[in-house]
Amino acid sequence: MRMTQKLPKKGRVDRDVVEGLGERFHHRGRGAISNTVGRFEAETREPIDDGWGTLEEDAPPLRTTLTKETPRTIITFNRSPDIPFDRTINPYRGCEHGCVYCFARPSHAFHGLSAGLDFESKLFYKPDGPALLERELSKPTYKVRPIALGMNTDAYQPIEKDLKLTRQFLEILDRHNHPVTVLTKSALIQRDIDILGPMAARGLTRVGVSITTLDSKLCRLMEPRAAAPRLRLQTVRALADAGIGVTVMAAPIIPAINEAEIERLLAAAKEHGASGAGYVLLRLPYELKDVVQEWLVQHFPDRAARVINLLREMRGGKDYDADWFQRGRGQGEHARLIAIRFARAVRRLELNKAKAPLRTDLFKPPVLVGDQYRMQV
């Protein structure tokens, strides 16, 4: 059945209101429950029960589609002071992992698509990206700093197995000794250890592996097409054994859902060879708050109100606070408690020891056909 009421936008949410919202149909193997239109659209569409019970039936399988994208540039720069990198490459838009909490979901609105099911089923790829990267690295004005690969959507989502765009980017960066970091929740990154291992030996790369929970059942609900927790831990071990520094990201932490796992998750990460750890409190920008709240009502009706209220307490009474440094950590007593627990676990496990920055002095810019020859030292 469709939701007959809307949650209040601010303040505390009454449990009776949440329980009165009812359930909706759910596409198997997908994270989002619905496909509400993006914030830039003039019309809103919503399924309504017509009395024939059709919304109570399982929805038909949702096919994934791929659309070619032809950007003018491939490196995206940012000036956010609370982000530890200033440039990224995202081979794909949208992500088939279907993580219900993904902060990138609202970006699909720029294509006139939904942050819900569209985000995880209507994907865009950039086949010209590797050629663009060569061109951008070859510019005389380019100043080398580490490139963060796949920070908006996962560079190792399922379609990468066939398209191999991420591997092409890594081959170029390796060839020109350009530093790079990667963040993924996919075991597919093990395929590219033959590139990442030698780069790490030259001080050119580190990897982050996102592990949100050790509970496989919860993982399937939150991240339906991502690697199981045991596979991610095995990936941490494989990367570490290849000499690649690995930071495990407990991201996002969702109060009353996975926050109880902080200490166990970090201990498992350390046991499998991780040298660093970080966390991000669940962020709910734009349409994402509706996607996550709907998901909570569907899968956790008994505690949905508590989760929403705790998040709002950590966001000054709102669903989201976009202020730098606040957006990833929150405020208030509960946010402070999470920060203390995390810091103590990191200290006890001897994670996050000081490490040298990735090297930039080895970079040799590409010389493209037709370019004037440049001396490369």
Task: Give CA separation, 133 vs 96, 179, 343, in Å.
Answer: 24, 14, 38
Instruction: Pull the structure tokens for residue 170.
Output: 């890594």
351 close to 275: Cβ distance less than 8 angstroms: yes
25 close to 46: Cβ distance less than 8 angstroms: no
Q: What pLDDT tens digit does each residue of the chain (377 aa) get?
A: 344 346 777 667 776 666 656 566 678 889 999 998 888 877 766 666 566 665 555 556 789 999 999 999 999 999 999 999 999 999 999 999 999 999 999 999 999 999 999 999 999 999 999 999 999 999 999 999 999 999 999 999 999 999 999 999 999 999 999 999 999 999 999 999 999 999 999 999 999 999 999 999 999 999 999 999 999 999 999 999 999 999 999 999 999 999 999 999 999 999 999 999 999 999 999 999 999 999 999 999 999 999 999 999 999 999 999 999 999 999 999 999 999 999 999 999 999 999 999 999 999 999 977 654 454 44
Q: What is the pLDDT of residue 190?
A: 98
Task: Give CA separation, 222 vs 31, 109, 146, 228, 371, in Å.
Answer: 6, 21, 30, 11, 49
Looking at residue 303, its amino acid is R
User: What value does the CA radius of gyration of the chain take, rounded to a whole number of Å?
Assistant: 22
Domains annotated on the chain, with CATH: 15-349 (3.20.20.70)
Q: What is the pLDDT of residue 53?
A: 61
Q: What is the pLDDT of residue 13?
A: 75
Which residue in this structure is represented by tokens 């709002």?
312
Residue among 289, 308, 321, 288 at smallest CA distance from 14: 308
18 close to 64: Cβ distance less than 8 angstroms: no
Which residue in this structure is represented by tokens 């920008």?
285
147 close to 75: Cβ distance less than 8 angstroms: yes
Q: What is the pLDDT of residue 198?
A: 98
pLDDT tens per residue, range 284-326: 999 999 999 999 999 999 999 999 999 999 999 999 999 999 9
Instruction: Pull the structure tokens for residue 7.
Output: 């949650």
Residue 23, classed as helix, strand or coil, is coil
- Whether omega before 252 lies within 30 degrees of 0, making that bond cis, reads yes
334 close to 342: Cβ distance less than 8 angstroms: no
